Structure 1
Amino acid sequence: MILHHAKGSCSLGILVLIEELGIDCEVRYVDLPGGEQRTPEFLAINPKGKVPALIRDDGQLITEWPAIASYLAALKPERQLLPADPLGLARVLEAVEYVVSTMHMQGFSRIVRPENFCPDRDQAEHVKERGLEIFRSGFDLFDRVLEDRPFVAGSFSIADAALFYAEWWMVNRLDGRLPRNCGAHYERLMDRAAVRRALDR
């Protein structure tokens, strides 16, 4: 398999899962700041023009963070990164969806790409402030979830890889202030060998 990945992007969470599961996967880096995702060459790989993008050995393309994470977890069911029971599965998927669709797309995206939400440059700071409010409210929610457990669903799952990439953004791209339980979760993930390998790639 081939993962198209950009350093510092949400695809970090997918790379963490690949390392966690011990899946043999080539990593090809995409220069997002340089606009490589909009080139004809990359659009021929992923017409959506974004990462992560996973190419299976048979050439089939899988896109979108939740879909790729679920696919990878299903390849190694014995690792139980997706719960087998219906309610447990729903809890993991709702956490993943909240990170991706709300914290990332509605929150962080407003902070780093305010022009996508408001063409009026005079409103850019207001858009960024609203994005930070959304992003922080997500951490407040997960902080309550993590009050009595080490991981989002009790044991490590794809939800933790999703939350980790958002935490990594807060620590490394914003002001670094995570609420107590999210901060402990971030440090717990940073101590995992798979996470260290992912960050080193």
Structure 2
Amino acid sequence: MKLYYAPGSCSIGTHVILEEIGKPYQSHEVNLAGGEQFSEAFKQINPKSKVPVMILDDGTSLTEWIAIAGYLAVTNPEANLLPQDPLDWARATEYMVHCNCTMHSHGFARIRRAERFTPSGDEDDEETVRGQGRRIFNDGFALMDEVLQGREWLLNHYSIADAALFYVSFWADVRGAATMPPNVAAHYARMKSRPAVQRALAIEGFA
């Protein structure tokens, strides 16, 4: 397997899952700042021009964070990263979607890339968009904080959903995107104590 990633992007959560599984894989750093994601070579791998991308052993290309996380969990059941109970499985998906599709795509994206949501190019409009992003991002943490009340992980045991929450929490910490509420901050600290997370951070240059 080969993971195409960019340091500090959502692919850091994918790196965490791969390190938890513990099987050999390769990593290829994509230079987003230099526009590598828009090159013809990369678009042959992922026409969406974004990371993460997972190339499977048979050459198949798999994109989208949740799809990659689910595939890795299902194909490595011994790692116990996805619940067997149907409701818990649905909850894991629910939490990943909220982190990836709401907090990330609607919240953090507005904070970091406000110009994408303001075609007028007006600076006041961009600040309004950033404010919307901060509210979405903070509201997401508030919901995750409630889920974590009285528990260590989002489900009854560690799962790929925790890797999703980790990467948005990482942005709150390293990118200064938000202040994590208490339960989320404690979850983030537990994640950072895991050897797999430490290895993932080291790979991406954040050790």
Q: TM-score range by the shorter chain?
A: over 0.9
- Which residues in structure 2 correspond to 1:21-100 (within 5 Å)? 21-100=21-100
Residue in 2 aligned with 1:7? 7
Question: Where do 4+ consecutive residues of structure 1 move more than 3 Å?
Answer: none
Q: Deviations over 1:131-163 (max 9, x none)?
A: 010001000000011111100112110100000
Q: Give aligned-pair identity as a percent.
A: 48
Q: Secondary structure at the match of 2:152?
A: coil
Indicate if the aligned counterparts of 2:171 and 2:177 stay in contact, CA closer than 8 A.
no
Instruction: State the shift of 1:176 in Å.
Output: 5.4
Instruction: State the shift of 1:35 in Å.
Output: 1.2
Match of 2:135 among 133, 151, 154: 133
Residue in 2 aligned with 1:110? 110
Q: Deviations over 1:72-117 (max 9, x none)?
A: 0112112221111110100000000111110000000001111111
CA RMSD of aligned residues (A): 0.9
In 1, the alpha carbon distance for the partners of 2:69 and 2:177 equals 28
Indicate if the aligned counterparts of 2:6 and 2:30 stay in contact, CA closer than 8 A.
yes
Q: Deviations over 1:143-195 (max 9, x none)?
A: 01111110011211010000000000000002552100000000000000000
Stretch of structure 1 that moved more, 147-156 or 182-191: 147-156
Q: Secondary structure at the match of 2:148?
A: helix
In 1, the alpha carbon distance for the partners of 2:117 and 2:32 equals 19
Alignment of 1:145 with 2:143, yes or no, is: no
In 2, the alpha carbon distance for the partners of 1:198 and 1:51 equals 16
Residue in 2 aligned with 1:191? 193
TM-score by length of 2: 0.95
Match of 1:159 among 151, 158, 161: 161
Instruction: State the shift of 1:23 in Å.
Output: 2.1
In 2, the alpha carbon distance for the partners of 1:124 and 1:23 equals 43
Counterpart residue identity of residue 182, structure 1: V
Alignment of 1:168 with 2:194, yes or no, is: no
Q: Secondary structure at the match of 2:62?
A: strand
* Count of matched residue pairs: 201
Counterpart residue identity of residue 147, structure 1: Q
Counterpart residue identity of residue 181, structure 1: N
In 2, the alpha carbon distance for the partners of 1:83 and 1:20 equals 15
Identify unmatched segments of 5+ residues in structure 2. Answer: none
Stretch of structure 1 that moved more, 13-22 or 170-179: 170-179
Indicate if the aligned counterparts of 2:108 and 2:177 stay in contact, CA closer than 8 A.
no
